[in-house]
Structure 1
Amino acid sequence: MKKTIRKLSSKKSIALIAHDNLKDNLISWVKDNIIFLQEHTLYATGTTGNLLEKEASLCIHKLISGPLGGDQQVGALIAEQKIDMMIFFWDPLNPAAHDPDVKALLRLAAVWNIPIATNEVTADFLISSPLFHGEVEILIPDYNEYLKNRL
C-alpha cells in the first residue's frame, strides 16, 4: 500500500479526553504543561472540556460528552485530518457503557497514524519531543488505493 505524507504544523490540533476517574489527572497534567499547550488548538469532550476551561483557563473547542457521541466526534475529526494528536487518559480497568466508541476512537488514531498518549508518562514523552514543538511530516496509508483493491 502506498503512503502519503501529511504535514503537521508547529501549531497542533490536540484532542484532550479523560475517563471520569482520570479527569483530575488530566487537569493536573494540563496545568503542569499549560505553557506548551496554550500555543495549540485544543479540543475536548463534554465534561472534560468544561473542567479544563474552568480549572486551566484555556480556550477549548468543546464537543459533546463522550458517551453521548463526543468520542465519535473526535474520531470524525481524526478521519477528516483535523486532529494532529490525542491525549486520552483512558481507564482500561473500568469498563464503560461506551467501550465500543473508545475502541473505535483508538482504532482511528492508529489508522490515521496520529500520536496518541493513553497515560500520563506517554503524554510527557509526546510533549517533550522536539517533534511536538515544530513542523513534522507523518506517513499515512493511501486508503483510496486500499479501497480500490477491495472492490
Structure 2
Amino acid sequence: MNIALMSHDHKKELMVQFCTAYCGVLSKHTVCATNTTGRMVAEATGLPVNLFLSHAHGGIEQIGQRIIYNEIDMVLFFNDPRSGELDDSVLSISKLCDKHSVPMATNVATAELLIHGLARGDLDWREVMNPNRIPFAI
C-alpha cells in the first residue's frame, strides 16, 4: 500500500510521534510525504520516505495527482483547525479522496483506526481494486 503523509506546521511533531509509534506497520508499506513532513518522519523513524515537493512548491498538488491516478491507498493529513494556511489544500485532498475512494484521516484518532485496519488487512480491497498497479516511484 502507498501511504501519503502531510501535516500542518503545528501538527508535524504529532505526525512524527504517530509514525514512530506505528513504524512497524508503516515499514511494510510505501510511505510518501510532502518534503518537510517526510524529512522529519524519515529522520525520526529511519523509514524510507519518498519525498514530494513542499506545500509551498506544489507537494500537495503532486499527491493529489497520485490520488487521481489511483497510486495512493491512504492519506494521513494531520490538520490544525486553528490554521487557515492550508484549509483549501485539506479540502482539495479530501474531495479527491472521496471521489476516488481513498481512506483519509485528518486527526490522530482516525489515523489510528486506519493504521490498525491496515495492519489487520482491512484495506486489502485497495489491492484487489487495482491489481496491475505499477510500483510506486517518484
Structure 2-normalised TM-score? 0.85
Q: CA deviation at 1:123?
A: 0.7
Report 1 or 2 for greater relative contact order, CA contacts < 8 Å, sequence distance ≥ 6: 1
Q: CA deviation at 1:137?
A: 4.7
Asked whether 1:106 is paired with 2:108, we answer no
Equivalent residues in 2 for 1:110-121, closer than 5 Å: 110-121=98-109
Separation of aligned partners in 1, 2:90 and 2:116: 26
Runs of 4+ displaced beyond 6 Å? none
Aligned residue pair count: 127
The verdict on how the C-alpha distance between 1:137 and 1:50 changes in structure 2, with shifts beyond 3 A counting, is closer
Larger radius of gyration between Structure 1 and Structure 2: 1
Q: CA deviation at 1:18?
A: 0.8
Separation of aligned partners in 2, 1:137 and 1:83: 9
Name the counterpart of 1:57: 46
Matched residue of 2:50: which SS?
A: strand
Separation of aligned partners in 1, 2:126 and 2:43: 34
Identity over the aligned pairs, expressed in percent?
Answer: 31
Separation of aligned partners in 1, 2:126 and 2:17: 30
Structure 1-normalised TM-score? 0.78
Q: RMSD value over aligned CA atoms?
A: 1.9
Separation of aligned partners in 2, 1:113 and 1:127: 17
Counterpart amino acid of residue 93 in structure 2 = L
